[in-house]
Homo-oligomer: A and B are copies of this chain.
Amino acid sequence: MISPKIEGFLWEQEETFLTPADKLAVIIDSHNIDHAKLLLSHMTFSRVPVVTVDNCFVGTIGLNEINQYQMDNELSDQELNQDISLICKRDVATLKGDYELADVLRKLIDEPFLPVLGEKDEFQGIITRKSILKAVNSLFHNFDIVEKKK
- Write the residues of chain A forming the contact surface with B, with a CB cutoff of 8 angstroms: 1-3, 5-6, 9, 37-38, 40-44, 46-47, 62-64, 67-68, 71, 77, 105-106, 108-110, 112, 129-130, 132-134, 136-137, 139-149
Contacts and interface: CB of A to CB of B under 8 A. Distances in A.
A28 B24 CA distance: 35
B145 A133 contact: no
Interface centre among A47, A71, A149 (most CB of B within 10 A): A71
A133 to B, nearest CB: 6
Q: Tell me what chain A mostly uses at the interface: helix, strand, loop, or mixed.
A: helix
B137 A148 contact: no
Nearest to A72: B41
B148 A146 contact: no
B137 A67 contact: no
